[in-house]
Amino acid sequence: MVHATTEQPIMTQSEFLNVVMPFKDKLYRLSKRLLISSEEAEDATQEVLMKLWSKNSNIANYKNVEAFAMTMTKNFCLDRLKSKQSSNLKLVHSNYEDGNTSLQKQMEARDSISWVEKIMEELPEQQKLVLQLRDVEEYDFKEIADLLEMQPTAVRVALSRARKTVREKLMQKHSYGIG
Amino acid sequence: MALDKIEILLEKYFEATTTVAEEEQLRDYFSQDSVAPHLEQYTPMFTYFSKAKDERFTKQVPLKPRVSYHKWISIAAVAVMAFGIYFGNDYREQREAEFAYQETKKALSLLAQNLERGTEKVAYLNEFEQAKQKIYNNN
């Protein structure tokens, strides 16, 4: 009897999907930006949505479910990366990349649009996140700051740095391409 | 849009002082065909961002139908209570009966003791009676 009065109304599956629908792609794109592999990004998104579903009755308490889900996704992916780094995967990855990529990338990235994608892969995680949230998802500074638990000025600095790096590297590739 | 305005916006863009709306203008400008040649180097950046936004999450999420725990917990609680009341009652009755039996037994044994003591005293009386009879007979 006591439970019934304090309990939040429980969402049905379809209600939940309606809440989640508008931003599930954003979760996926954020995961992919961090994890790079689309399979891993799909798994991460799935995981986050399932976690969200299991918290279902609490969802009504969050003013902004989207922001909450985005933060969850960010943390989940960063954790993934961290545990991957501690395993030998990182060693393989970085060894492989250093020797091989410049050539491989030039071959792969014929069109300059995918250059941008590759350049973003090389950015530090925080700049990656800021650039993704701003230039792809078009969040404002306040939202980004809340999401990443950063000061708005720090967001601005990171964003400026990220954009300039992309420009610089793009110029380099561009001049290689032409020359 | 005027070219000089775009140039100004671009400069602001790299300092991260443009608004979301201004950035939208930049994306619009670079998505059309007639980009000024000296600005064309920026085209891939802005077209990439627009393209990146189109990516979709297509995988299905297997949501397990969530049983509402409260409902089942209350059902279980009611069951336990009914069980408790039913069998608890039996048990209590049994205990009460046992207690009454023990009390009765105690009372009866007390009575028996006293009765015994009573008959002992009566035995003395008998002695007295005999003595009296002796005296009467002697007379």
Give B93 to chain A, closest Cα distance, Å: 31
Mean pLDDT within A25-35 = 96
Residue A86 half-sphere exposure, CB side, CA atoms within 13 Å? 5
Residues of A in contact with B47 (CB under 8 A): 113
- What is the reported pLDDT for B66? 63
Whether residues A105 and A27 share a domain: the answer is no
Whether residues A72 and A110 share a domain: the answer is no
> Residue A44: is its pLDDT beyond 90?
yes
Contact A140, B20 (CB under 8 A): yes
For A56, which of B47, B57, B66 is closest by C-beta distance?
A: B66
> Residue A178: is its pLDDT beyond 60?
no
A3 located within any domain: no
Mean pLDDT within A51-72 = 83
Task: Place A14 in a pLDDT band, splitting at 50, 70 and 90.
Answer: confident
A4 located within any domain: no
> Residue A95: is its pLDDT beyond 50?
no
Residues of A in contact with B61 (CB under 8 A): 46, 49-50, 53
Calculate the dihedral angle through the C-alpha atoms of A142, A145, A148, A149, rounding to the nearest 10 degrees: -120
Whether residues A65 and A110 share a domain: the answer is no
* A104-108 long-range Cβ contacts below 8 angstroms, 24+ apart: A106/A176
Residue A1 half-sphere exposure, CB side, CA atoms within 13 Å? 1
Residue that is written with structure tokens 């070219």 in the block = B3
Whether residues A172 and A102 share a domain: the answer is yes
Mean pLDDT within B117-124 = 80
Number of structural domains in chain A:
2
Residues of B in contact with A50 (CB under 8 A): 61-63
Instruction: Give the span between the Cα atoms of A28 and A45, in whole angstroms.
Output: 5
Q: What is the ipTM of this complex?
A: 0.78
Whether residue A46 and residue B65 make contact (CB cut-off 8 A), yes or no, is no
A54 located within any domain: yes
- Give residue A13's domain range: 9-88
Mean pLDDT within B14-19 = 96
pLDDT for B69-112, tens place per residue? 777 888 888 999 888 888 888 888 899 999 999 999 999 999 99
CATH of the domain at A105: 1.10.10.10
Q: Which of A88, A121, A153 is the last residue of a domain?
A: A88
Terminal alpha carbon distance of chain B: 160
For A159, which of B16, B42, B63 is closest by C-beta distance?
A: B16
A2 located within any domain: no
Mean pLDDT within A125-141 = 96
Residues of B in contact with A137 (CB under 8 A): 53
Contact A41, A28 (CB under 8 A): yes
Can you list the alpha helix ranges (DSSP code H) found in chain B? 3-14, 20-31, 43-52, 69-138
Q: Which of A88, A114, A129 is the last residue of a domain?
A: A88
Site from B10, B46, B48, B68 to mutate, A interface, most A CB atoms within 10 angstroms:
B48
- What is the reported pLDDT for A9? 63
pLDDT for B40-52, tens place per residue? 989 999 999 999 9
For A164, which of B14, B53, B57 is closest by C-beta distance?
A: B14
Q: Which of A88, A119, A151 is the last residue of a domain?
A: A88
Whether residue A46 and residue B42 make contact (CB cut-off 8 A), yes or no, is no
What is the average pLDDT score of chain B? Answer: 88
Whether residues A138 and A82 share a domain: the answer is no
CA angle A126, A129, A135 (to 5 degrees): 130
Which residues are within 8 A (CB) of B52 and not within 5 positions of it... i.e. 6 or more apart? A29, A117, A136
